[in-house]
Amino acid sequence: MRNLLRFILSNHFVLLFILFETIALILVFQKNNYQNAIAFNISRNISGYINTKTHSLREYLSLREANIALHEENRVLRNELFSSYKSQVPLAEDIEFEEAWERRYNYIPARVISTSVNKQNNFMSLDKGSVHGIEPDMAVVSGSGVVGVVTGVSDNFSTVLPLLNIDLRISSKLKDTGYFGSLYWDGRDPTKATLTDIPHHVTLNSGDSVVTSGLSAIFPEGIMVGTITDFEIAGGNFWSVNVSLATDFRKLNHVYVIQDLFRDELLELERAEGYD
């Protein structure tokens, strides 16, 4: 209090000037229509600017909630895709859809909580685990395409072997012709991968789509992997195809873990037949 009084006494001339100037301006703007209109316009512009900035800040702060809601909405839509179902009986007009088709794939949304892209053996961790239905060897995809395969699971977290790891190979095929091969990452460019084992008599074109083949018990058929950029003969009778990856691993935040509801049945049959 003593410091405040000292400040007022030492600056009372300046404070009185500001007070009288403020009273004068108020009287001028109140008694004159022209000045009143100018003041109104100025205050309206200032208020509009502040409201705009406040709204933009509010929108920015709510982006995380919006992304979570959008991620959940996409999960629901993916689960309703025709490719998530398996035909049980020939579909006839007098048979209901639920009777003729059974769900095979279930998409579980997850968020990337740690990752790397600048190593040869990159890794990824997700914020979902066994309590959410995630198990090892489940496929992981993004809204753009293939991401990787689940390798480890705890109650609430899971680790993923991403496509950007030299130890992972994914069975992939040319979308237009159906010829399939093995796709791998060579440990260099995080935006490119290589597709091998495509016979050299197959016609290739830059821009052709490469998708998962469905020839494994992990990835469903037809998930986008990337597009062809260029190609050359390697190993005599096969193409070495450079593929631009559909997923940008450098800004990956949200993914989906694909649960194959028939996977155990398939693996049990293959083991019984001695295929493992």
Q: What is the pLDDT of residues 188-214, one digit of tens each?
A: 999 999 999 999 999 999 999 999 999
Domains, the chain, in order of start with CATH, read 2-61 (no CATH), 111-272 (2.40.10.350)
Pick from 50-54, 142-146, 188-192: least confident? 50-54
Cβ-based neighbour number of residue 200 at 10 Å: 14
Could you tell me which of 221, 266, 265, 253 has the C-alpha nearest to residue 81?
221
For residue 35, the Cα-to-chain-centroid distance in whole angstroms is 55
Judge contact between 254 and 133, C-beta under 8 A.
no
Residue-level pLDDT at 204: 94
Residue 126 burial (10 A CB sphere; 0-12, 13-18, 19+): buried
Q: Which residues contact 213 (CB under 8 A, 6 or more apart)?
A: 171, 172, 173, 180, 219, 221
* pLDDT at 248 > cutoff 80: yes
Task: Choose among 153, 137, 147, 204: nearest CA to 174.
Answer: 204
pLDDT (0 to 100) of residue 246? 94
- pLDDT for residue 23: 73
Task: State the Cα–Cα distance between residues 276 and 269, nearest whole angstrom.
Answer: 10
> pLDDT tens digits, residue range 85-118?
555 555 445 545 455 557 788 999 999 999 999 9
Give the span between the Cα atoms of 208 and 153, in whole angstroms. Answer: 36
pLDDT of residue 103: 79
Question: Between helices 12-31 and 2-10, what is the axis angle to 10°?
Answer: 70
